Structure 1
């Protein structure tokens, strides 16, 4: 439903007051300053303030300015975050520019696990309320959807849906469609050096589903698990849901620091890693670290969960083989997905499992969703068999590489104060901000302008990094790249903290 701009601004300010972001007695910016900060007309800012004054949320003081009303009952506000009588800093004003938080107050009656998962940081999956610069700048994990072979795929998918066989309509194999598993095994042998049987492949509903299954099968509550720090929020959630004792292990230029992991918890039950393109830092795990990780798992009987995300997209040098390709001791669970090569809405992923784990994974699978829907699997198998998937990957590598280069060029031209960290592949770059910036505040302010710029600090547990933003480039059309970077520059160069 359409809302006037002043109503949206009023609602955001009201939410900030009730949440305690702006506490009673806090001085607010002038209507002129607020309009400039938000990029709206002064009349819009005045109308929002008038509504807040009429409802008693703010008050004016002759010759002094506008303040959050002191008469707001304490029981409807959260603990103060801003000292009274101070003009909010730029970071605080940026947070006001963000859409109201998605998370509602945690309801009573939840399990301990439910409360834990509700409070964990989550990836920004839903669409922003404002969409500019092509609607997807700089969303992470998104391929070039505008380059997807829609006609070829829809023809194949429609045929599978229009003429389903009786076999497709019955309960299906919990491992997934046999033909698709054969195609996946053949693909992995060619591009990742993984020698596996189709009987070791389980089709799942995306990589997150696969991580959840692995945690359910292999972990008991309290089991220690190494997790890359900073690391993947989805993995963190799956491990937390299983009751794991998460052991953050720092990441450097060579990937996860295996020596630190062994020093902190040598008897950990599992290690979760993204060796090909570490998420979110983008580094590749060195051969020395890979060998050390294999040796540790073999010696202690630990499991390695390898999320091989973005392995298909490398633009400099040759990729190292997957950990699973040299899994002589059968300790690696390999996780793959079609979300970043096809499209996220497909919700198709897969696991490659050691033979001795197959029965356990099938049993746990039957306790959850039984099996994935058959039409998408049949269509994907046919798409791969006709070499449509291989052609699409070749096209995406070229397109993504070009868009990566364009983003680097525009950042150098419009935001030279940012430092882009080295990365040889993937779908996003990590851009470090000047040290006086708050990456969470910058992310919120960018969201208000329709720009996805996810904060790196959200992914850290202990290993705090310099402030930085994750900027996905694959889903941004070239014609929109400069405009998106320009908007980001305007956000990052917004008003600074006032001395008074």
Structure 2
């Protein structure tokens, strides 16, 4: 049967699942396998680091697909990117510590850092990604930097090689941590996924964070952090006090999903669907005065606005046309940039194109 869609989720909304019916049937079968022959781990509190089996499968995947240098013992399973960020920040930083954050940037990371009482230092993003030299000018003694180097959120640019090397060199000299959020690197539409920055870091200053929410579905609630050895103990102790362990039933099914090749097959199908959806969304948005280019990676795009239009005013107009968008200006710390952030995962191409075309024509 087709997967249900929440009536309140408009086409274009960010973060909608990419899993298709085949993926869901396979995952249901794997869950049934573990329920039919339940392991003892399901009946007692588990390892706060997460099951060894799933951590081994994730480590193997990250080494081959992302160029991450890691072993299963470095991986902490979490409920997603937000929990990983929260645990790492609270275990390694103190209120008042200055932290670089991309500007514009991911609102979820900003919320975690503000909640921890950190001093946010917005660092502008240009065509090469985070402007590392400006970060050093504004806060050379920052204790950490949060970046999305493979596909910057929300602008979609890639951190250049020279900037990656400069950032790693700064972190080594400053004794700072780099929080690398690799949230949707599986979805590269032109060529293979870009290698993670963590694999370039010989000094052990990069904390690599990933999630299955984008590649599979958010309801799975499984993400992970690859921790440098000195951080493993402090982060695990904090996790043990707040959340005893990840869900063992879902861990077992996901480990099998990875081990048996279902995840790789799912990604091949998902990339084809997402690319078709991207092209349909672009075609629909181009029916009006918006400036749109199809991105080479990821699950969202930026629509540029004509002079004089304000993105915050267009959000409700898009909703009236049946399209879910976010205002780019709401993701800025410094001077507001204008634009609309629109997702293209989880919806049929014709649905996205129709909604985008209605909205774009309403602006003409």
* TM-score range for the pair, normalised by the shorter chain length: over 0.9
State which of 294, 298, 305 in structure 2 corresponds to 1:426: 298
Measure, in 2, the Cα distance between the counterparts of 1:217 and 1:148. 40
Q: Does the CA-based 8 Å contact 2:317-2:359 persist in structure 1?
A: no
Rounded to whole Å, the distance in 2 between the matches of 1:394 and 1:471 is: 23
Equivalence for 1:217: 91
CA distance in 1, matches of 2:81, 2:222: 8
Partner residue of 1:57? Answer: none
State the shift of 1:400 in Å.
1.2
Distance 1:233 1:148, change over 3 A: farther
**Which residue of the other structure, out of 325, 329, 352, is the alignment partner of 1:481?**
352
Q: What displacement does 1:490 show?
A: 4.6
Task: Indicate the residue corresponding to 1:56 in structure 2.
Answer: none
- Give the structure with higher Rg (CA): 1
Please, which of 417, 435, 440 is the counterpart of residue 307 of structure 2? 435
- Alpha-carbon deviation of 1:158? 2.2
Please give the TM-score of this superposition, normalised by the length of structure 2.
0.95
| 1:147 Cα deviation after fit | 5.4
Instruction: Give the equivalent residue in structure 1 for 2:317.
Output: 445
Q: Structure 2: how far apart are the matches of 1:366 and 1:347? A: 18
The answer for the alignment partner of 2:45 in structure 1 is 171
User: Structure 1 residues 164 and 318 mapped into 2: Cα distance closer, same or farther (>3 Å)?
Assistant: closer
Paired residue for 2:249, among 358, 366, 375?
Answer: 375
Deviations 1:99-118 (A, max 9, x none): xxxxxxxxxxxxxxxxxxxx
Deviation at 1:449, TM superposition (A): 4.1
Higher relative contact order (CA 8 A, sep 6+): 2
1:285-364 pair list within 5 angstroms: 285-364=159-238
Aligned residues: 360
Q: Deviations over 1:16-74 (max 9, x none)?
A: xxxxxxxxxxxxxxxxxxxxxxxxxxxxxxxxxxxxxxxxxxxxxxxxxxxxxxxxxxx
* Paired residues of 2:212 and 2:220 also in contact (CA < 8 A): yes
Secondary structure of the 1:283 match is coil
CA distance in 2, matches of 1:265, 1:431: 32
* Contact 1:229–1:462 under 8 Å retained in 2: yes
Task: Give the equivalent residue in structure 2 for 1:238.
Answer: 112
Aligned mates of 1:242, 1:215 — CA distance in 2? 8
The reply to whether residue 460 of structure 1 matches residue 353 of structure 2 is no
Alignment partners' CA distance in 2, 1:198 and 1:425? 28
Larger displacement relative to structure 2 (354-363 or 157-166): 157-166
Q: Kindly report which structure 2 residues correspond to 1:11-410, keeping only aligned pairs within 5 A, or say none.
A: 131=8, 135-146=9-20, 149-410=23-284
TM-score, structure 1 as length reference? 0.69
RMSD, aligned α-carbons: 1.7
8 Å Cα contact 1:283-1:422 kept in structure 2: no
SS at match of 1:251: strand
Q: Which runs of 5+ in 1 are unaligned?
A: 1-126, 494-500
In the alignment, the residues of structure 1 paired with residue 75 and residue 335 of structure 2 have an alpha-carbon distance, to the nearest angstrom, of 35
What does residue 35 of structure 1 align with? Answer: none
Q: Please, which runs of 5 or more residues in structure 2 have no aligned partner?
A: none
